[in-house]
């Protein structure tokens, strides 16, 4: 998963019109759809579950990138995959048996991702890097859209790319939080290739211009 991809996060979309909001970013050039699942325990916010993912599955052919910010994610992975999730990522911080959790996702046939909060060191991934299709680095503390990119994550992206190149060069690096035209170039230069953006797309009048602005910043 080394291709450059823009992944709009529907967290900042109009929830009363989610289907239309998905189609709109698909038309505007999105490469996949990022879906933030929050349980009010692992993060201090509540969002959506498998029923909504199943409904969204019907309105787009783009990969659905499901980011589980929940406790006990193993319990819900099969439900999200049945609902149509193509990629599932789980947090190191909510998986005491991380090797098992990643194995469950892989066996169920979804692209397998692992996520680190900003304060979690890369060594938490030491024995599982070979098992993943992508690693996602949080570039804000998870729970809410519209926060500022944490610049201290740039060297973390660089080190992660080095580690992946040594053991799993096909794996991608996704970054999530505070990504927009002003921050995407630095994240890309550090080694990220999948870019989640919520407010930088859904907070703009033209989704197409917002996505193009990010693509252009990477090409510079
Ligand atoms: C935060 C979520 C993000 C969020 C990003 O916990 O994981 O995906 O939607 O929003 P922005 O792009 O506005 O920082
Ligand atoms: Zn997310």
Query: Is the CB of residue 200 below 6 angstroms from any atom belonging to ligand 1?
Result: yes
Tell me what pLDDT residue 108 has: 95
Tell me how far apart the alpha carbons of residues 154 and 139 are, in angstroms, rounded to a whole number. 9
- Rounded to an integer, the average pLDDT of 45-65 is 98
Question: 40-49 pLDDT, tens per residue?
Answer: 999 999 999 9
Q: Is 135 in a helix, a strand, or coil? A: strand
* Residue of 36, 39, 65, 133 with catalytic role: 36
Q: What one-character-per-residue DSSP string does 3-62 give?
A: S-EEEEBGGGS-GGGHHHHHHHHHHTT-SSEEEEEEBSSSSS-B---HHHHHHHHTT--S
Q: Is 137 in a helix, a strand, or coil? A: strand
User: Where do the domains of the chain lie?
Assistant: 5-219
- Of ligand 1's listed atoms, the one at least distance from the Cα of 178 is 14
- Rounded to an integer, the average pLDDT of 85-100 is 98
- Rounded to an integer, the average pLDDT of 48-54 is 98
Question: 131-176 pLDDT, tens per residue?
Answer: 999 999 999 999 999 999 999 999 999 999 999 999 999 999 999 9
Query: Closest ligand to 197 CA?
Result: 1
Q: Which residues contact 191 (CB under 8 A, 6 or more apart)?
A: 157, 158, 160, 161, 173
Tell me how far apart the alpha carbons of residues 174 and 87 are, in angstroms, rounded to a whole number. 12
Computed over every residue of the chain, the mean pLDDT equals: 98
Q: How far apart are the first and last CA of the chain?
A: 22
Tell me how far apart the alpha carbons of residues 139 and 116 are, in angstroms, rounded to a whole number. 9
Percent of the chain with pLDDT over 90: 99
Answer yes or no: are the C-beta atoms of 211 and 25 closer than 8 Å. Answer: yes
Whether 165 is catalytic is no
Query: Is the CB of residue 38 below 6 angstroms from any atom belonging to ligand 1?
Result: no
Instruction: Look at residue 220 and tell me whether its pLDDT is greater than 60.
Output: no
Whether 176 is catalytic is yes
User: ipTM value of the model?
Assistant: 0.99
Residue range 5-219 forms a domain whose CATH class is alpha beta
Name the residue with the closest Cα to ligand 1, atom 7. Answer: 142
91 confidence band (pLDDT: 50, 70, 90): very high
Instruction: Look at residue 219 and tell me whether its pLDDT is greater than 90.
Output: no
Query: Is the CB of residue 140 below 6 angstroms from any atom belonging to ligand 1?
Result: yes
């Amino acid at each position: 998963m080394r291709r450059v991809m823009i992944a709009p996060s529907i967290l900042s979309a109009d929830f009363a019109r989610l289907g239309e909001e998905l189609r709109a970013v698909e038309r505007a050039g999105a490469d996949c759809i990022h879906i933030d699942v929050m349980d009010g325990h692992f993060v201090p916010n509540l969002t959506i579950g498998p029923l909504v993912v199943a409904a969204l599955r019907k309105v787009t052919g783009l990969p659905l990138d499901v980011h589980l910010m929940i406790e006990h994610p193993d319990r819900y992975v099969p439900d999200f995959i049945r609902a149509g999730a193509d990629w599932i990522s789980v947090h190191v911080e909510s998986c005491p048996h991380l090797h098992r959790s990643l194995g469950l996702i892989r066996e169920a046939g979804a692209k397998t991702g692992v996520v680190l909060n900003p304060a979690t060191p890369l060594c938490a991934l030491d024995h599982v890097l070979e098992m993943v299709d992508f690693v996602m680095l949080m570039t804000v503390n998870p729970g809410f859209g519209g926060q500022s990119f944490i610049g201290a994550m740039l060297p973390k992206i660089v080190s992660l790319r080095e580690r992946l190149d040594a053991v799993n060069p096909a794996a991608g690096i996704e970054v999530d939080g505070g990504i927009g035209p002003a921050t995407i170039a630095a994240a890309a230069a550090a080694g990220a290739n999948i870019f989640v953006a919520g407010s930088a797309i859904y907070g703009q009048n033209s989704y197409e211009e917002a996505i193009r602005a990010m693509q252009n910043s990477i090409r510079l």
